[in-house]
């Protein structure tokens, strides 16, 4: 409920969610609010050209390169067991000019 409340009052076009449990909340939020959904996955899972996200002391993550659009507004969704991953993804997005309007974790 907290997540949905945050999502409803925040401006964003796309939900980025971290594998695996972020997908459950992320896809529901994106569908319910009519936004796009982009998965952030473990290395080697996404088939198209990717950007690799290095996470301190954890396995790296990947996101499809065409899903990272400078100037876009994203809602970043993860779970409380992946704070390091959320921070790493947020840093990568900010470096590439993406507005991370809110994190839910």
Partner 1 sequence: MVTFSSGARVGTLRQHVREIEDFPRKGVWTQDVTPLFQDPALFQMMIAEVADLVRKVEFDLVAGVESRGFMIGPPLASALGKGFLPIAKVHGNKLDTIQVAYDYEYSTDVLELPKGTIDPGTRVLVVDDQVVTGGTALAAASLIERLGGNVVGCAFILTQSYYDGLQAIRKYPVYALFEKNPSNQ
The end-to-end CA distance of the chain, in Å, is 13
The one among 41, 61, 92, 104 contacting partner 1 by CB under 8 A? 41
Our finding on whether 72 is near partner 1 (CB under 8 A) is no
Pair of tokens at residue 30 = 């994106």
Our finding on whether 71 is near partner 1 (CB under 8 A) is no
Could you tell me where the beta strands, DSSP code E, fall in the chain? 14-18, 36-42, 50-53, 61-64, 73-77, 99-104
Place of tokens 């459950």: 24
The one among 4, 13, 87, 91 contacting partner 1 by CB under 8 A? 13
Which residues contact partner 1 (rule: CB under 8 A)? 13-14, 19-21, 23-25, 27-28, 30-32, 34-39, 41, 44-48, 64, 67
């Amino acid at each position: 409920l907290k997540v949905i409340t945050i999502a409803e009052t925040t401006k964003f076009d796309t939900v980025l969610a971290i594998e695996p449990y972020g997908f459950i909340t992320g896809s529901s939020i994106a569908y319910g609010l009519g936004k796009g959904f982009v998965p952030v996955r473990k290395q080697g899972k996404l088939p198209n050209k990717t950007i690799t996200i290095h996470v301190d002391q954890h396995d790296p993550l990947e996101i499809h390169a065409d899903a990272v659009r400078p100037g876009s507004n994203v809602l970043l969704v993860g779970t409380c067991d992946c704070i390091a991953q959320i921070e790493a993804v947020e840093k990568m997005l900010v470096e590439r000019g993406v507005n991370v309007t809110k994190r839910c974790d």
